[in-house]
Amino acid sequence: MSRFTAPIAEQIWDMKYRFKQADGIPIDKRVEDSWRRIARALAVVETDAAHWEEKFYHALEDFKYLPAGRITAGAGTERSVTLFNCFVMGTIPDSMGGIFDMLKEAALTMQQGGGIGYDFSTIRPKGADVKGVAADASGPLSFMDVWDSMCRTIMSAGSRRGAMMATMRCDHPDIKDFITAKSDPVRLRMFNMSVLITDDFMQAVKADTSWDLMFEDRVYHTVQARDLWNNIMQSTYDYAEPGVIFIDRINAMNNLNYCENIAATNPCGEQPLPPYGACLLGSVNMTRLVQDPFEEDAALDQDALDDLVATAVRMMDNVVDASRFPLDAQAAEAQAKRRIGLGVTGLADALLMVGLRYGSDEAAAQTERWMRQIARAAYLASVDLAREKGAFPLFDADKFLATGHMQDMDDDVRAAIAEHGIRNALLTSIAPTGTISLYAGNVSSGIEPVFAYAYTRKVLQKDGSRTEEEVVDYAVQLWRDKFGDAPLPDYFVNAQTLPPLDHVKMQAAAQKWVDSSISKTINCPEDIGFDDFKDVYMQAWDTGCKGCTTYRPNDVTGSVLSVSEKDEAPLSEAPEQVRGDGEVVYISEPLDRPQELEGSTYKLKWPDSEHAIYITINDIVLNGHRRPFEVFINSKNMEHFAWTVALTRMISAVFRRGGDVSFVVEELKAVFDPRGGAWMNGKYVPSILAAIGGVIERHLITIGFIDGEGMGLKTDPQAAVVNLNGPRGKACPNCGSYDLRMIEGCMTCGSCGHSKCS
């Protein structure tokens, strides 16, 4: 009998985690083979390897402990990949040579499958003097464009591209440009971005006093702190970025603040890390530990939790010795501190199973109790490992116990550490678990609420056809199995209806006993007022959170696709599209070409190319408005002939069918040449096709078809035909379905589970 409780779970295993030969023939015949492979690989460093292999297998069995995707996919395969999920890279020097040395390290790290984080605050601001070359600095954002281009060309191990986090201090002179960077819909798409917020800044915001923007002790600008805070809030209200990271709080609470300084995090924010620090992740599946679910005496099995946590800590500690590292500096950092990030998944489902509404005071209190028990069990297990194998090399008992987090730890745990030391400098973190939660039977992800009770997923079959299947939340399915068609109790709540401040309450409750941080998305309704939106962030600060990330669906960010027959608009409202067989089809009869058209011709000189490209765009006037009708692309370079003709025909065909054709610009500007792009007019352009897209965009601005650069590129022609219950976001890059949702700070596909973060 299969161990999988839902078809999607088996599909995720087969697609993401099943060990296969290069030709696709499975080596792992069943999921039990995967568990055995992982258990054996992580037990090999033990003196009694056979004993610990069985212990590890039992923890993995039935999806009780879920190592992060890198471990599940890579352990025991002998592939040249890292088992660590993410890294914070070295401090970026403020020199051209140093910057590009860091770029090389980033490429090597992502090539082995690691996401990366960088603090760009160390690069001098735009316009600052560059000593020795009589030039002005281009600023950190120009170099972020280079990182973004590199990331697009590096395919991480497995089937996802690398993810990156960029941070910048709230007192950097270029912070305003950093805050608004994502207003350009095609810029820095490979980055998650967060502002490093200091305690002094928050005090200045509350007091409404001035704030200096400075670099290397030179003040460049002085602004009002509250105005800058409002700039951050407005950008994340409109574009869901940047997030905020309360960096002084992170450093004050860090168990290692006596020997490291943190200025960046991994891509989803749950692991604040020093230069070359690495995050090693895994999650306890809380749903598998609830006894008598939905009954009056439903409760978590505390003895089983303690035992599972202790085994998980040992497994994760062994990964430090079993894993490869892209860089020697990363290996040295991991060995010196042996930090791990044990978290949870299925928390919301577990709360439902014991009769608690996620977001209630009772649920927050229960969450705090559970997380405290996990922290205690993890720290005591690490003390036991220290007695057996030794403490981490940089352990200093007096300094370690004096840190902010350890001062709140229970006295018996502190006493044990003082006497025996501790094996792992940090032990707890709550990471994104979007994919592994699907693999475990669609349990709720991390500490997030249930996103949806059920949804329909299209599944691509081997013969190319697609079938539909219902994907049901684990707790909801368990309720159905026990009680049939009985209505769900009123304590069932999901992310669509949960008030934002209830999200904050749950994050704060969990954070008290998490020594690293938490990946959490606070879902906000589209119509939330701006002042109420700002209150979410202030509440996160006031209640002890280490950061805050929100998601508000709107015309820019998009929302989850939801279509029903009653939502369909009459065809008369959408004359430029036709319907067939119940599908929206983006074709109609092309417009007839008049005898004469007005247009413009542009010369594009691509660096290092012998011949220029000439782009002619002709326009037609309809209902008093000018719009593009056709394009001609010509070059004397015969190597360009085939693709320029193809591009000419395709773009012209799109233009002649009317509607909102601005997406052509977006698609072209998003094309990255793996051989590298070029600097043009002070801006990095990732490919010659992107340069053509930029020319077309400038023309559309000139004729008034779009308002400005990077603007007006997200309108979806389908919205005129089908009411999507809000704007539709981007298609999933893996399966093409419009079911991307923001979960734990990362866009995740509800149809196939694709996520760049897990």
DSSP secondary structure letters along 597-623: -EEEEEEE--TT-SS-EEEEEEEEEET
Between 676 and 453, the higher pLDDT residue: 453
Question: What is the predicted pLDDT for the residue at 758?
Answer: 53
Cβ–Cβ under 8 Å, residues 369 and 395 = no
Mean per-residue pLDDT of the chain:
86
Indicate whether 541 pLDDT > 60: yes
Residue 437 has what DSSP assignment? Answer: H
Quote the CA–CA distance of 607 and 679 in Å, as a whole number: 8
> Pick from 105, 173, 167, 179: which is nearest to 139 by CA?
173
Quote the CA–CA distance of 504 and 547 in Å, as a whole number: 10
pLDDT tens, 743-756?
766 777 766 667 76
DSSP 639-676: GGHHHHHHHHHHHHHHHHT-S--THHHHHHHT---TT-
Quote the CA–CA distance of 266 and 273 in Å, as a whole number: 7
Give the model's confidence band at 719: pLDDT under 50 very low, under 70 low, under 90 confident, else very high. Answer: very low
Cβ–Cβ under 8 Å, residues 49 and 56 = no
Phi and psi dihedrals of 6, rounded to 5? -150, 145
Phi and psi dihedrals of 219, rounded to 5? -85, 120
Helices (H), 254-360: 302-322, 328-337, 347-353
Cβ–Cβ under 8 Å, residues 659 and 717 = yes
Q: Nearest 5 degrees, angle CA 433-CA 436-CA 440?
A: 125
Quote the CA–CA distance of 417 and 9 in Å, as a whole number: 40
Cβ–Cβ under 8 Å, residues 648 and 633 = yes
Question: What is the predicted pLDDT for the residue at 528?
Answer: 94
Give the model's confidence band at 564: pLDDT under 50 very low, under 70 low, under 90 confident, else very high. Answer: very low
Does an H or E element contain 547, and which? strand 547-548
Q: Where are the domains of the chain?
A: 86-265, 598-719
Residue 462 tokens, joined? 């081997």
Examine the residue annotation and report whether 494 is marked as an active-site residue of this protein: no
Residue 119 tokens, joined? 């603090």
Cβ–Cβ under 8 Å, residues 357 and 363 = yes
Q: Which of 255, 266, 318, 554 is catalytic?
A: 266
Indicate whether 186 pLDDT > 60: yes
Residue 91 tokens, joined? 């401090």
For the segment 480-503, the average pLDDT, to the nearest whole number, is 93
Indicate whether 598 pLDDT > 80: yes
pLDDT tens, 259-311?
999 999 999 999 999 999 998 999 999 999 999 999 999 999 999 999 999 99
Written in H, E and C, the secondary structure of 46-99 is: CCCHHHHHHHHHHHHHHHCEEECHHHHHHCCCCCCCECCCEEECCCCCCCHHHH
Q: Which of 270, 448, 697, 744 is catalytic?
A: 270
Cα atoms in the Cβ-side hemisphere of radius 13 Å centred on 611: 11
Distance between start and end Cα atoms, the chain: 28
> Pick from 28, 20, 34, 25: which is nearest to 440 by CA?
34
Phi and psi dihedrals of 649, rounded to 5? -65, -40
Examine the residue annotation and report whether 270 is marked as an active-site residue of this protein: yes
Question: What is the predicted pLDDT for the residue at 57?
Answer: 98
Indicate whether 90 pLDDT > 50: yes
Give the model's confidence band at 420: pLDDT under 50 very low, under 70 low, under 90 confident, else very high. Answer: very high
Cβ neighbors of 572 (< 8 A, separation 6 or more) are none
Q: How many residues does the chain have?
A: 758
Quote the CA–CA distance of 665 and 708 in Å, as a whole number: 12
Question: What is the predicted pLDDT for the residue at 704?
Answer: 84
Quote the CA–CA distance of 449 and 218 in Å, as a whole number: 46
Q: Is 172 helix (H, G, I), strand (E, B) or coil?
A: coil
Between 40 and 706, the higher pLDDT residue: 40
Residue 696 tokens, joined? 């077309």
| Cis bond before residue 242 (omega within 30° of 0) | yes
Give the model's confidence band at 193: pLDDT under 50 very low, under 70 low, under 90 confident, else very high. Answer: very high
pLDDT tens, 112-165?
777 899 999 999 999 998 876 667 899 999 999 999 888 877 743 343 456 899
Share of the chain above pLDDT 70, in %: 86
Examine the residue annotation and report whether 266 is marked as an active-site residue of this protein: yes
For the segment 107-111, the average pLDDT, to the nearest whole number, is 85
Cβ–Cβ under 8 Å, residues 700 and 706 = yes
Distances (CA, A) of 342 to 35, 521, 712: 18, 19, 43
Indicate whether 205 pLDDT > 90: yes
Question: What is the predicted pLDDT for the residue at 575?
Answer: 31
Cβ–Cβ under 8 Å, residues 628 and 619 = yes
Does an H or E element contain 215, and which? strand 210-215
Indicate whether 532 pLDDT > 60: yes
Question: What is the predicted pLDDT for the residue at 566?
Answer: 32
pLDDT tens, 26-74?
999 999 999 999 999 999 999 999 999 999 999 999 999 999 998 999 9
Give the model's confidence band at 222: pLDDT under 50 very low, under 70 low, under 90 confident, else very high. Answer: very high
Indicate whether 557 pLDDT > 50: yes
Beta-sheet strands, E only, within 380-472: 454-460, 466-472
**CA 142: distance to chain centroid?**
22
Give the model's confidence band at 705: pLDDT under 50 very low, under 70 low, under 90 confident, else very high. Answer: confident
Parallel, antiparallel, or unpaired: how do β-strands 65-67 and 281-285 relate?
Answer: antiparallel
For the segment 218-247, the average pLDDT, to the nearest whole number, is 96
Quote the CA–CA distance of 377 and 304 in Å, as a whole number: 11
For the segment 703-732, the average pLDDT, to the nearest whole number, is 50
For the segment 609-619, the average pLDDT, to the nearest whole number, is 86
Q: Number of helices (H) and strands (E), helices first, in the chain?
A: 24, 31
Between 667 and 548, the higher pLDDT residue: 548
Indicate whether 427 pLDDT > 60: yes
Residue 377 tokens, joined? 């069990």
Parallel, antiparallel, or unpaired: how do β-strands 243-246 and 547-548 relate?
Answer: antiparallel
Question: What is the predicted pLDDT for the residue at 569?
Answer: 30
For the segment 489-500, the average pLDDT, to the nearest whole number, is 91
Share of the chain above pLDDT 90, in %: 60
Give the model's confidence band at 418: pLDDT under 50 very low, under 70 low, under 90 confident, else very high. Answer: very high
Quote the CA–CA distance of 185 and 710 in Å, as a whole number: 6
Q: Which of 86, 170, 268, 545 is catalytic?
A: 268
For the segment 197-206, the average pLDDT, to the nearest whole number, is 98
